[in-house]
């Protein structure tokens, strides 16, 4: 159920930025970046960080720990693997560019890694996951909730149930473009490590990752001898208990996060998810009338990013060029989809009215490209 909450804090209907991360950031958040420098061992810092550590678990829906680390989201993927997995085997579920990369990371770390591949645009099929788990005992499973490269969302609730019913593997989930944009239930689903970045649906500037970690994952970390230093989840956990980071944190981003978590919780996590689903519905209704086709299969359309194939005779890259010339920040198709797809990032604090304006701009750009503009 959506509300009248103005996610844009005064710029309703005006956002022109639709990159699928980094996303548009409210001016109130940008202003918060300019807070005073502090020692990260001072009481003032611990007050700030303590507020963040109280609020973050509400976003992840966990009674356990949630933390920040000054890396992009990829660093938190690596933290999970280097801290908790001794040798493997890891089951890397891949259905797009980001899940592929996480699998590649696992291999580059020297972990025994089996890849379970799905075609781009297809959601992860839990039955195929079950077949893998029944055939072999895995130490960890990695999966991406929302594949930003293809705009495809998978059913993590069912995948998690499958993992827990058929194995005792750690379940590591990339919630990079789902957290704060749709339902993420860390405790209810039994996620051992949920990882996200700041620059997506949390609508913060880039440069800091957030994660929630289970007791089971921390126990696995305790058994691992070499966990490195910077990305050691046990070290982060121990310092978190003192409301600190082990190393110098990104203070400006923490000021911004403190303000933005208040904003997110004021809107309400469920209302925020509903707003994202409303933005998706707006794009779906518009696409059906205007001849744009969704790349992902039906039922797996992402609530935070739409990957679309333009109508016959309209070139995706030309369309993006025309929109850019009209001063919109667009998203191109990702990787191999660049020549054929466009992506609309409708995540963070963007509102439905702004998305509608952006879609109308597509109609004008298409008319111009076809030479039918009035």
Site residues for ligand PLP per CB under 6 A? 21, 72-74, 98, 144, 148, 174, 176-177, 197
Distance CA 65, CA 42 (A): 22
Torsion of CA 82, 173, 17, 372, to 10 degrees: 120
CB of 175 to ligand PLP, least distance (A): 8
Of the candidates 23, 82, 73, the one whose C-alpha atom is nearest the C-alpha of residue 196 is 73
Helices then strands (H, E): number in the chain? Answer: 13, 13
Nearer to ligand PLP, 98 or 358 (CB): 98
Q: How far is the CB of 48 from ligand PLP (least distance, A)?
A: 23
Pull the structure tokens for residue 137.
């005992």
- Other CB atoms within 10 Å distance of the CB of residue 109: 15
Q: Could you tell me the smallest distance in angstroms from the CB atom of residue 150 to ligand PLP? A: 10
For the beta carbon of residue 326, count every other beta carbon within 10 angstroms.
14
Q: Are 76 and 86 contacting, i.e. CB atoms less than 8 angstroms apart?
A: no
Instruction: Using the minimum distance from each CB to ligand PLP, give the nearer residue, 46 or 115.
Output: 115
Minimum CB separation from ligand PLP for residue 336, in Å? 16
- Angle between helix axes 251-267 and 269-290 (nearest 10 degrees) is 80
Name the residue nearer to ligand PLP (CB basis): 106 or 244: 106
Taking the least distance from each CB to ligand PLP, the nearer of 92 and 148 is: 148
Cβ distance to ligand PLP smaller for residue 249 or 314? 249
- Assign 3-state DSSP to the chain and report helix, strand, coil percentages, each to 5: 45, 15, 40
Residue 140: strand, helix, or coil: strand
CB of 174 to ligand PLP, least distance (A): 5
Task: Choose between 177 and 244: whose C-beta lies nearer to ligand PLP.
Answer: 177
Shortest Cβ 149–ligand PLP spacing (Å): 7
Give dist(CA 6, CA 74) in Å, integer: 31
Nearest distance, CB of residue 148 and ligand PLP, angstroms: 3
- Closer CB to ligand PLP, 74 or 158, in the complex: 74
| Cα first-last separation, the chain | 39
CB of 215 to ligand PLP, least distance (A): 25
- Supply φ then ψ for residue 180, to 5 degrees: 70, 10
Nearer to ligand PLP, 126 or 181 (CB): 181
């Amino acid at each position: 159920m959506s509300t009248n909450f103005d996610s844009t804090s005064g710029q309703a209907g005006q956002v022109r930025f639709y990159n699928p991360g980094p996303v548009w950031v409210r001016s109130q958040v940008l202003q918060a970046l300019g807070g005073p420098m502090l020692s990260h061992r001072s009481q003032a810092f611990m007050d700030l960080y303590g507020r963040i550590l109280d609020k973050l678990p509400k976003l992840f829906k966990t009674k356990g720990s949630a933390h920040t680390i000054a890396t992009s989201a990829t660093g938190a993927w690596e933290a999970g693997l280097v801290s908790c997995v001794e040798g493997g085997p890891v089951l890397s579920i891949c259905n797009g560019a980001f899940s592929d990369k996480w699998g590649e990371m696992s291999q580059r770390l020297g972990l025994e890694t089996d890849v379970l591949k799905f075609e781009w645009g297809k959601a992860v099929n839990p039955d195929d996951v079950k077949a893998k788990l029944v055939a072999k005992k895995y130490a960890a499973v990695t999966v991406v909730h929302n594949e930003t490269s293809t705009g495809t969302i998978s059913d993590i609730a069912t995948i998690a149930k499958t993992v827990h019913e058929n194995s005792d593997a750690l379940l590591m989930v990339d919630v990079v473009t789902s957290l704060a944009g749709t339902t993420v239930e860390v405790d209810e689903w039994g996620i051992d490590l949920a990882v996200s970045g700041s620059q997506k649906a949390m609508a913060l500037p880039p440069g800091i990752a957030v994660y929630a970690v289970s007791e089971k994952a921390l126990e696995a970390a305790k058994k691992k001898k070499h966990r490195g230093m910077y990305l050691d989840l046990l070290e982060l956990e121990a310092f978190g208990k003192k409301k600190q980071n082990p190393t110098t944190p990104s203070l400006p981003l923490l000021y911004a996060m403190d303000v933005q978590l208040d904003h997110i919780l004021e809107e309400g996590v469920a209302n925020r998810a509903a707003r994202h689903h409303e933005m998706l519905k707006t794009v779906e209704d518009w696409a059906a009338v205007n001849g744009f086709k969704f790349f992902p299969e039906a039922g797996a359309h992402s609530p935070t990013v739409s990957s679309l194939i333009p109508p016959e005779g309209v070139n995706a890259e030309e369309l993006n060029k025309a929109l850019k010339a009209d001063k919109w920040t667009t998203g191109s198709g990702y990787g191999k989809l660049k020549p054929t797809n466009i992506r609309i990032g409708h995540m963070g604090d963007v509102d439905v009215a702004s998305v509608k304006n952006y879609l109308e701009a597509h109609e004008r750009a298409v008319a111009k490209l076809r030479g039918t503009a009035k």
